[in-house]
Amino acid sequence: MRVLGIEVSPELFNSWIDWLAPDRQPFYVTSKQAAAWSLPLDPAKPDKQLRDTYQTYNLDSRLKSVWLDEATFMALPRKTRAELVRAQVTHERSEVPTVRAWREVLGPEIAQQADGHRFVWWKSVLRDFAREVLPRVVGEDLGPSRHREVPKAVWSDAAQVLPVARELAGTFPNGSGPNCFGTVMAAAGVEGAAEEWMQREPFEEWLDQHTTRGGRDDVPGTVQVWRDNNHAVQHAAVTLGAGWTLHKPNQSWMGPREVRPTPQLLTHSRTPGRHLTRHTIKT
């Protein structure tokens, strides 16, 4: 099947199901809530896939985690399930969708899971609807990758400076971790960078050694770098030429290596407090 215009293998699609609806998932509560609802605390940390599924980056450090499987969750009193699910919204844990948004796909019975307004994903919910649910969840904040629209001549010219760009374009990673910095470096031929959670320091070192300051968006090999007010690099992309740019929007398993029209990407990437600089890859 295709998601965001990208082919997704059955193996990867099954992994997506596990990452969106794991057999055990974390719920976040205060100590008072855990005691009131008789929930067993478990200090286990989510792996990198579940970290990105539930976007646990900035949770209040005072919150405690409770790990529940579906049977244990459903065995809780309905009132407790309702309060627990509402608490996830309050505590800003992700993937607590609204019943209203999904009723037409999942049916009215989804309102019975918790408080009637919100629910969480379990495999039983996805069993008959994964092919409808996953493309919407993955593509919620993204447009389709336009890699198929890039002319052959553009790919040919770009290959002189970006030998791996065409291979990367229009692919999903095999899990969380691969990010924008690694995507740019991999497109330029840095072996292993495509699958690595590339940190700022090695990316900055690569910029210093393999690029020169300045560049044009209409030619291949211009690295677009967005920095914050402290000069820390926050995002990067690389031009393919002729109005096309390759980037990876995040380090999540949901984030594809996508091609976008350069003006569209520049507009989308404008964020208060961030400043764009350009670097040209040396040939």
Q: What is the pLDDT of residue 263?
A: 97
* DSSP secondary structure, 57-89, as one string: TT--TT-EEEEEEHHHHHHS-HHHHHHHHHHHH
Q: Decide if 85 contacts 53 (C-beta within 8 A).
A: no
What's the chain's average pLDDT? 97
Of 217, 226, 230, which Cα lies nearest the Cα of 280?
A: 217
175 neighbors 253 (Cβ within 8 angstroms): yes
- Output the DSSP codes for 215-232: --TTSEEEEEEEE-TT--
The percent of residues above 90 in pLDDT, for the chain, comes to 97
Model confidence at 142, pLDDT cuts 50, 70, 90, reads confident
The domains of the chain, with CATH numbers, are 2-138 (no CATH), 147-281 (3.90.1720)
Mean pLDDT score, 175-182? 98
- What letter represents residue 138's amino acid? V
235-266: per-residue pLDDT in tens?
A: 999 999 999 999 999 999 999 999 999 999 99
pTM of the complete model beyond 0.85: yes
37-61 pLDDT per residue, tens: 999 999 999 999 999 999 999 999 9
pLDDT for the residue 140? 82
Per the CB < 8 A criterion, the answer to whether 195 and 253 are in contact is no
- As a whole number of angstroms, the distance between CA 225 and CA 212 comes to 13
- Per residue in 223-233, pLDDT (tens digit) is 999 999 999 99
Cα distance between residue 5 and residue 279, in whole Å: 29
Confidence of residue 141 (pLDDT cuts 50, 70, 90): confident
Percent residues over pLDDT 70 in the chain:
100
Q: Coil, strand, or helix at residue 186? A: helix
Q: How confident is the model at residue 278 (pLDDT cuts 50, 70, 90)?
A: very high
As a whole number of angstroms, the distance between CA 225 and CA 242 comes to 19
Contact 44, 32 (CB under 8 A): no
Handedness of CA 270, 271, 272, 278 (dihedral sign): negative
pLDDT tens per residue, range 104-129: 999 999 999 999 999 999 999 999 99
* Other beta carbons less than 10 A from residue 73's beta carbon: 20
Give the separation between CA 239 and CA 140, rounded to whole angstroms: 25
According to the model, what pLDDT value does residue 55 have? 96
